Amino acid sequence: MMSGRKIQWACVNVCRMVVALTFILSGFVKAVDPLGTQYKIHDYLAAAGMADIVPDVVTLGLSVLLAAVEFSMGVFLLFAIHRRTVSRLMLAFMVVMTPLTLWLALTDPVKDCGCFGDAVVLTNWETFAKNVVLLVCTFVIFRRPMMMVRFISKTNQWIILNYTVLFILVSSVYCLYYLPVLDFRPYHVGADIKKGMEIPDGAEQPQFETTFILEKNGTRKEFTVDNYPDSTWTFVDSKTVQTAAGYVPEIHDFYMQTLDGEEDVTDKILDEEGYTFLLISPHIEQADDLNFGDIDVIYEYCMDHGYSFRCLTASNEDAIQRWRDITGAEYEFLHADETTLKTVIRSNPGLMLLKHGVVLWKWSHNDLPDLDENAPRLEDTVYGTVKQESFTETVTEIVLWFMLPLLLLTFADRMWAWTGWLRKKKNSNKRYQRLNKKNMRKKIVAGNWKMNMNLQEGVALAKELNEALTADKPNCDVIICTPFIHLASVAQILDKDVIGLGAENCADKEKGAYTGEVSAEMVKSTGAQYVILGHSERRGYYGETSEILKEKTLLALKNGLKVIFCIGESLEEREANKQNEVVKAELEGSVFNLTAEEFKNIVIAYEPIWAIGTGKTATSEQAEEIHAYIRSIIAEKYGEDVANETSILYGGSCKASNAPELFAKEDIDGGLIGGASLKATDFKGIIDAWK
């Protein structure tokens, strides 16, 4: 059965995938169709009565920005980049968007929210339901952001961050300059427009219901056809409402008519057997006229080869005439629906090639075909048949454009970092070898709670530490050593794979009439794996001698406990330059009687007595010097291999601010932490020094 922690982890990462993939899809379909997103923003502004206030350049900028934000946040969430910040931004985004979509669902100012462009069309109520799910998921992520599993190391996150933003902005600009690389609209290349307008036989017809308002003897009532009353009632009014939409063809608003509005030429043009070029401009007064020369060349080409060339626009005749005056256009102009023309092609103007109503090719005005008087007939060019476009191949190409550079950049970054590390470390072969040996040793941060906190406070701290380190895995072994009363309770809370548990002392007797003492066997029975022995406070306040500590060590090892053995000099001994003599004597008197195999269960903690609880700290050079000396005398006793495997911790006012400098030293393998271990944030700050 899964534990509560694992269930939370699973929920967070499932929610993370749902939100990330939704945002990536939503942002990408907006990015590849920035004009379509701009049109949707304009629809919202029109519903709010602001369409004439906000200029087009602003709505286009918002279109590109919205796509970039959604896509980037989705990718950042997918790769767990800046987990806390991104989870907060996601939640804030959904807190704003969910009430907004509820308003859309209730008032229905626009029929389609445009969340996924034309790729996936949702009703406003479907959009609201989707946002409710996303809001719940983002809240789950927000509560436990550090449970999100990273797919890439923290050092490489800058690559994902910068390339993602660059990729999506470049994609939008590319699709804006040319045409969307993916066309989800019904007028895509290969579409048969006339077939898209057909209504199948037997298709569901729209349903209507008429209500009659009648009056009799001063009383008004509503009736339907089914319960229409007798002639004694007087007719007052009636109203008809549509109760069912019926079948709506994929293309239902496409028409072409002459400028005077007297002739609909839609069927005539769609039924033409030859090639037909349609220049599309929803608003010709806003059309880009920089390439009108190329358009005129294509028109002349059509005239030379007997192809049709017309311009479709929703503009009035004055605007059309201005275009003629500017460009010298001689081609025929037809009227069509503005919204339809915006849907047909995302360019103003844009060019579309039809044959018998089938869309063969589409071009932006920035990328017109090279068809001049020297070009062969269409039948003899690639333009004579439907442009070969594979949706799957296009999507694959886009994914490769995004993922392949990321993989290459990440690989290059890792290789550069690795070679740089090698160059730096190999400058000194001896130092390089010693660092390799250091990496063989366990890195440890141990907390010594001393006589602090009641049972409830201790359990609460243990829970907080367990949650923090389970969510953000440490790069070292972590141990907390607690008063005896905490051991059994705390053991039930800790994940042993993340945090080890130790006692602060044990008796020098195995069992018997020793009131108040706690044996090594008792400590082990609580679930503890470690015990601190030889702490200066035990030596100073309770007179523990080297012989007593020798007995305690043997009993601890006999009962399967690992020993954190403390040594260190007083201020007077340091000032007399006797620190080496002191630590050597303390080791020889209590643990150097052990065999080499037994000594492997000893962790040495060097604690200068003058720095414990005083706020004073040995400099990193002082600490490294005596740590190196301690390792040298272990090597003299047990050999280089045992010495290189022994972890030596520093204790004595070690805190988050000085831990990185201390831990960077070759012979310092971690810390035994006193006061700073009583607050989870302070203790974790020291643990994170290993990162």
Residue 426 has pLDDT above 70, yes or no: no
Quick: pLDDT tens for 334-391. 998 888 899 899 999 999 999 999 999 999 999 999 998 889 999 999 998 888 877 7
| Token duo for residue 653 | 């006012």
4 burial type by CB count under 10 A (0-12 exposed, 13-18 middle, 19+ buried): exposed
Instruction: Indicate if the pLDDT at residue 408 is higher than 90.
Output: no
By C-alpha distance, which of 344, 307, 320 is closest to 260? 320
Confidence of residue 394 (pLDDT cuts 50, 70, 90): confident
4-49, pLDDT tens digit by residue? 678 888 899 999 999 999 999 999 999 988 988 888 888 788 777 7
Rounded to 5°, the CA angle 452-497-479 comes to: 30
| CATH superfamily name and code, 441-690 | Aldolase class I (3.20.20.70)
Distances in whole angstroms, Cα of residue 508 to Cα of each of 172, 283, 375, 499, 599: 74, 95, 102, 26, 18
Please, are residues 528 and 484 in contact by the beta-carbon 8 Å criterion? no
Q: Is the Cβ–Cβ distance between 390 and 189 less than 8 Å? A: no
Report the 10 Å Cβ neighbour count for 511.
11
Position 620 confidence tier, pLDDT thresholds 50, 70, 90? confident
What's the CA gap between 336 and 344, in Å, rounded? 11
Binding residues for substrate: 448-450, 613, 653, 674-675
CA-only gyration radius of the chain, Å? 39
Q: Which residues are known catalytic residues?
A: 535, 607
Q: What pLDDT is recorded for position 362? A: 94
Return the closest-CA partner of residue 354 out of 273, 281, 255, 253.
273
1, pLDDT greater than 50: no
- CB burial of 398-413 (b: ≥16 within 10 Å; e: otherwise) equals beeebeeebeebbeee
Domain limits, CATH 3.40.30.10, in the chain: 266-389
Range(s) for CATH 3.20.20.70 in the chain? 441-690
Please state whether beta strands 358-364 and 350-355 pair in parallel, antiparallel, or not at all (unpaired).
antiparallel
What mean pLDDT do residues 656-681 have?
92
Q: In the CATH scheme, what is the homologous superfamily, with its name and number, of domain 266-389?
A: Glutaredoxin (3.40.30.10)
More reliable by pLDDT, 124 or 93: 93
Q: Please tell me the distance from the alpha carbon of residue 379 to that of residue 393, in angstroms, as a whole number.
A: 26
Q: What are phi and psi of 332, to 5 degrees?
A: -75, 140
pLDDT band for 615, please (50, 70, 90 cuts): low
Q: What is the pLDDT of residues 551-567, one digit of tens each?
A: 999 999 999 999 999 99
* pLDDT value at residue 451: 96
Span 174-200, pLDDT tens digits: 999 999 988 888 999 999 999 988 888
Q: The tokens 């590319």 sit on which residue?
A: 174
Q: Is the peptide bond before 349 cis (omega within 30 degrees of 0)?
A: yes
